[in-house]
Amino acid sequence: MDNKLSVKDLNVEFTTIKGKAKILRDVSFELKEHEMLGFAGESGCGKTMTSMSIIRLIPPPGKITRGSIIFEEKDLAQNSPREMVDIRGKKISIIFQEPLTALNPCYRVSWQLEEILKLHFPDMDKNERRKRTINILKNVGLSDIKKVLNSYPHQLSGGMRQRIVIAMAIICDPQIMIADEPTTALDVTIQAEILSLIKEIQEERKQLSVIFISHDINLLAERCDRIMIMYLGEILEVADSDDIINKPIHPYTRGLIGSTPRVSLSRKQFDFIKGELPSAYTDIEGCSFYNRCTEKDESCRQQKPELIDIGDGGKQHLVRCFKKK
């Protein structure tokens, strides 16, 4: 199989007192071997929910109502909890945004790292575990390792904690790693270090593909191979990073690129996307971006555009818009 992960027609719903909210609508995409795929979009567009669906940790009252998530020839959407417990942390791992609350305050770092090994490699002996933990901390760029291992999370800085979280994510040599806004909560100086670290890890490990989630599309463009734009639970555009940045087709994509502050020689004006997200509880007949789009016409309201490949020369470029140029 050419694809590490293949998601097809994924639909996730939240059922609350207010009714049914469609969080993910017919999401389909592929994660290729040894690639870094970026998810871009505003808060609430479904990026995090997609990744949570992959590891089946959607918080209640959310549920997958339709679709498949094919990984290693099995459909994760159909897996039992026990099967997922085997996969999480070992084959698919995840890094969250907030390092200060990611680690359990009651246990030492060594315990928290060795726990993953004990869970997934029960036959590994103590010395081997120790070796692996020390090694992995070296890999993520930590020094004074014995001290770190003996420490409790509250004794370490945010940057160090995030490195430990990354270490936990790769200690079992996973196939897929999901990084959900891993640097948003960090100091600007540390951000760059962590981003390089993640890129380094992805390049070194040939069996690893990374999904990188961020609201900052320019950040994604600098490091990802491909980028996927999401909005209101739908995919609007997917293409190589260069194409997304230089030849963005969807008006939303263009808005995203323009609205991220960027220091460049000629300061561009921010192109703010006007308007607000419509409620997830309503079913939208036409294009979901209609009420905020600046290039729409009547047909956009009546029919929902399909995701169509307009790429040339063998490079895939998917867009969900009637106005593809």
Partner 1 sequence: MGIYILKRIGVMLITLVVISIIIFFLIHMLPGDPITILYGKNPNPELIERIQKFYGLDLPIYQQYFRWAGNVLQGDFGASLRDGVPVLDLIKERIPRTLILCFGAIIFGIIFSFPAGILAAWKKGGWLDFSLTSYSLVMLSVPQFWLGLFFILLFSYKLGWFPSSGWIYPGRDFIGFLKIIIMPIVATGFMEAAVITRMLRSSMIDVLSADYITLARAKGNPERRVLMIHSVRNSLIPVITVIGFLIGYLLGGEIVIEKVFNFPGMGSLIVFSTSFRDYPVIQISILFYAALFMVINLIIDIAYALIDPTIRY
Q: Confirm if 36 and 202 have CB atoms less than 8 A apart.
A: yes
The smaller minimum CB distance to partner 1, of residues 104 and 246, is found at 104
Contacts with partner 1 in 122-181 (CB under 8 A)?
152, 154, 165, 168
Q: Does 88 participate in binding partner 1 (rule CB under 8 A)? A: yes
* Shortest Å distance, C-beta 107 to partner 1: 8
DSSP H/E element including 37: strand 36-40
Q: In what order do the strands lie in the sheet with 36-40?
A: 92-95, 176-180, 209-214, 36-40, 226-231, 234-240, 318-319, 308-309
Angle, alpha carbons 166-167-168 (nearest 5°): 90
Does 115 engage in binding with partner 1 (CB under 8 A)?
yes
H-state helical runs in the chain: 47-54, 81-87, 109-120, 126-139, 145-150, 158-170, 188-204, 217-223, 241-246, 251-259, 298-302
Q: Pick the stretch among 9-17, 112-120, 254-262, 303-311 that binds partner 1 (CB under 8 A).
A: 112-120
Residue that the structure tokens 């505003």 belong to: 42
By CB under 8 A, residue 12 contacts partner 1: no
Residue 191 burial (C-beta neighbours within 10 Å; 0-12, 13-18, 19+): middle
Indicate whether 14 belongs to the interface with partner 1 (CB under 8 A). no
What is the nearest approach in angstroms of partner 1 to the Cβ of residue 179? 12
DSSP string across 202-243: HHH-TT-EEEEEES-HHHHHHH-SEEEEEETTEEEEEEEHHH
* Binding segment toward partner 1, per CB under 8 A, in 34-42, 96-104, 223-231, 247-255: 96-104
Amino acid 13 reads E
Q: Locate 166 and state its tokens.
A: 């990354």
Looking at residue 290, the DSSP 8-state letter turns out to be G
Distance of alpha carbon 37 from alpha carbon 44, whole angstroms? 19
Q: Which of 12, 87, 167, 236 binds partner 1 (CB under 8 A)?
A: 87
The minimum distance between CB 253 and partner 1, in angstroms, equals: 30
Q: Which is nearer to partner 1, 120 or 223 (CB)?
A: 120
Residue 89 binds to partner 1 (criterion: CB under 8 A): yes
The residue range among 14-22, 116-124, 217-225, 242-250 that interacts with partner 1, by the rule CB under 8 A, is: 116-124
Q: How far is the CB of 282 from partner 1 (least distance, A)?
A: 27
Q: Does 103 contact partner 1 by CB under 8 A?
A: yes
- Considering the complex, state which of residue 177 and residue 319 has its C-beta at the smaller distance from partner 1: 177
Considering the complex, state which of residue 152 and residue 322 has its C-beta at the smaller distance from partner 1: 152
- Rule CB under 8 A: choose which of 17, 82, 127, 276 binds partner 1: 82
Complex with partner 1: residue 77 or 102, whichever CB lies closer:
102
- Among residues 36, 40, 69, 94, which is the contact residue for partner 1, using CB under 8 A? 94
Helix (H) or strand (E) holding 96: none
**Which 23-62 residues touch partner 1, going by CB under 8 A?**
55, 57
C-beta atoms surrounding 131 within 10 Å: 12
Nearer to partner 1, 103 or 194 (CB): 103
Structure tokens at 160: 């160090």
Tell me: does residue 198 bind partner 1 (CB under 8 A): no
H and E: helices and strands count for the chain: 11, 12
Binding site for partner 1 (CB under 8 A): 55, 57, 81-82, 85-90, 93-94, 96, 98, 101-106, 115-116, 119-120, 152, 154, 165, 168
